[in-house]
């Protein structure tokens, strides 16, 4: 896990990891905006094939919503497109508005996102000055906490004066837990609209991807400084366990079948200790990941990814 710094893309992080670990195949599970910081789960070598099983994990973010100012990018990197006097907004009003943006909601992806439309990423089109129609997407916001940035226990006190010296308007601190695919900058903009004006996002930080937390993440500088960066890696089997995959412990016979990518009866996977409907991580008795299997047809399991022996 990398604690991504501001000012670089997720692709930049991947490129640096290639150099640090001398790996050609490197990928990540979930893009972070260039100005955002925090957890970026990176996979190396064969483990890049396992990132698909981490893409559905819930996310947690913190950030700040600047009320009264909208921008072209919905965050502080964009040009100002509108201003409102929102200094009379209270924290209680902001929390009530946030409640309307909690649960299953519909979002229009921003033009600066990495989503592809017609084979091109939206942010590439935006840089070319092209705006296209984007279909709303359903996402789930399980928690949307709002407070006054920098002032604990403000309660229902007015936000007048917060950030006023900079001319940006009141600033709210937010803490969000959400489904993958949720755009926090869009959530910030929608919060501003719900409060009768506009808003943009700044200082976005991803605290967690599922059970992968920023407290355990390491910086790129740390990886470059240590003599053996490989010692800081999480094993593929442990990563899948954190992602909630069931685990089957294979004996010699089952391990042989798995190594050859054979379709198996689900009963044999369950007999090896796995539960549920999959996908399942199949490991050796020593805990080394052999493959990931998933349900296939009636009462069968097929390999979704088989790892070559190390």
User: What's the whole-number average pLDDT of the chain?
Assistant: 88
DSSP state letters, 157-221: -B-TTTTGGGTS--EEEEEEEE-TT--HHHHHHHHHHHTTS-EEEEEEEEEEETTEETTT-B-HH
Please confirm, yes or no, whether 12 is among the known catalytic residues: no
Token pair 């819930």 is at which residue? 58
Banded pLDDT at 141 (limits 50, 70, 90): very high
Inform me whether the pLDDT recorded for 259 exceeds 80. Answer: yes
Sign of the alpha-carbon dihedral angle for 50, 53, 55, 61: negative
Residues in Cβ contact with 244 at an 8 Å cutoff, skipping those fewer than 6 apart? 210
pLDDT value of residue 266: 95
Report the predicted TM-score, pTM, of the whole model to 2 decimal places: 0.88
Give the contacts of 62 (CB within 8 A, at least 6 positions apart).
173, 174, 175, 176, 203, 204, 205, 207
Q: What is the mean pLDDT of residues 114-137?
A: 72
Query: What average pLDDT does this structure show over 277-290?
Result: 94
How is residue 157 written in tokens? 């006190």
Per-residue confidence (pLDDT) for residue 116, from 0 to 100: 73
Residue 19 has pLDDT above 70, yes or no: yes
Q: Out of 33, 92, 145, 238, which one is annotated catalytic?
A: 33
Query: Among positive and negative, which fits the CA dihedral 270, 274, 275, 277?
Result: negative
pLDDT at 79 over 80: yes
Query: 24-57 pLDDT, tens per residue?
Result: 999 999 889 899 999 999 999 999 999 999 988 9
Q: Name the residue with tokens 């910081």.
A: 37
pLDDT digit string, tens, across residues 232-251: 999 999 999 999 999 999 99
User: Can you list the pairs that 296-302 forms with residues at least 24 positions away whose Cβ atoms lie under 8 Å?
Assistant: 296/263, 299/265, 299/266, 299/267, 300/263, 300/264, 300/265, 300/266, 301/263, 301/264, 301/265, 301/266, 301/268, 301/269, 302/263, 302/264
Other C-beta atoms closer than 10 Å to the C-beta of 178 total 21
Residue 56 gets which letter from DSSP? Answer: T
């Amino acid at each position: 896990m990398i604690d991504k710094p501001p000012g670089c893309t997720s692709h930049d992080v991947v490129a640096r990891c290639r150099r640090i670990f001398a790996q050609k195949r490197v990928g990540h599970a979930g893009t972070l905006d260039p100005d955002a910081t925090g957890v970026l789960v990176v996979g190396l070598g064969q483990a890049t094939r396992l990132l698909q099983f981490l893409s559905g994990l819930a996310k947690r973010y913190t950030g700040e919503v600047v009320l009264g100012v909208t921008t072209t990018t919905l965050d502080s990197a964009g040009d100002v497109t509108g201003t409102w006097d929102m200094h009379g907004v209270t924290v209680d009003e902001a929390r009530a508005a946030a409640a309307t943006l909690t649960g299953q909601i519909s979002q229009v992806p921003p033009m600066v996102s990495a989503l592809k439309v017609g084979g091109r990423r939206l942010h590439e089109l935006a840089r070319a000055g092209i705006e296209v129609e984007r279909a709303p997407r359903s996402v789930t916001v399980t928690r949307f906490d709002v407070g006054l940035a920098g002032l604990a226990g403000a309660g229902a006190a007015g936000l007048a004066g917060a950030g006023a010296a900079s001319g940006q308007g009141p600033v709210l601190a937010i803490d969000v837990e959400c489904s993958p695919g949720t755009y926090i900058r869009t959530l910030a903009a929608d919060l501003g609209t719900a409060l009768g004006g506009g808003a943009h996002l700044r200082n976005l930080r991803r605290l967690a991807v599922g059970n992968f937390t920023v407290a355990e993440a390491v910086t790129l500088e740390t990886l470059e400084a240590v003599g053996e960066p490989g010692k800081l890696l999480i094993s593929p089997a442990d990563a899948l366990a954190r992602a909630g995959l069931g685990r089957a412990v294979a004996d010699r016979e089952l391990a042989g079948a798995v190594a050859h990518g054979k379709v198996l009866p689900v009963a044999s996977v369950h007999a090896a200790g796995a539960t549920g409907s999959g996908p399942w991580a199949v490991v050796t008795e020593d805990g080394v990941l052999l493959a990931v299997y998933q349900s296939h047809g009636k009462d069968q399991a097929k390999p979704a990814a088989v790892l070559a022996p190390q």
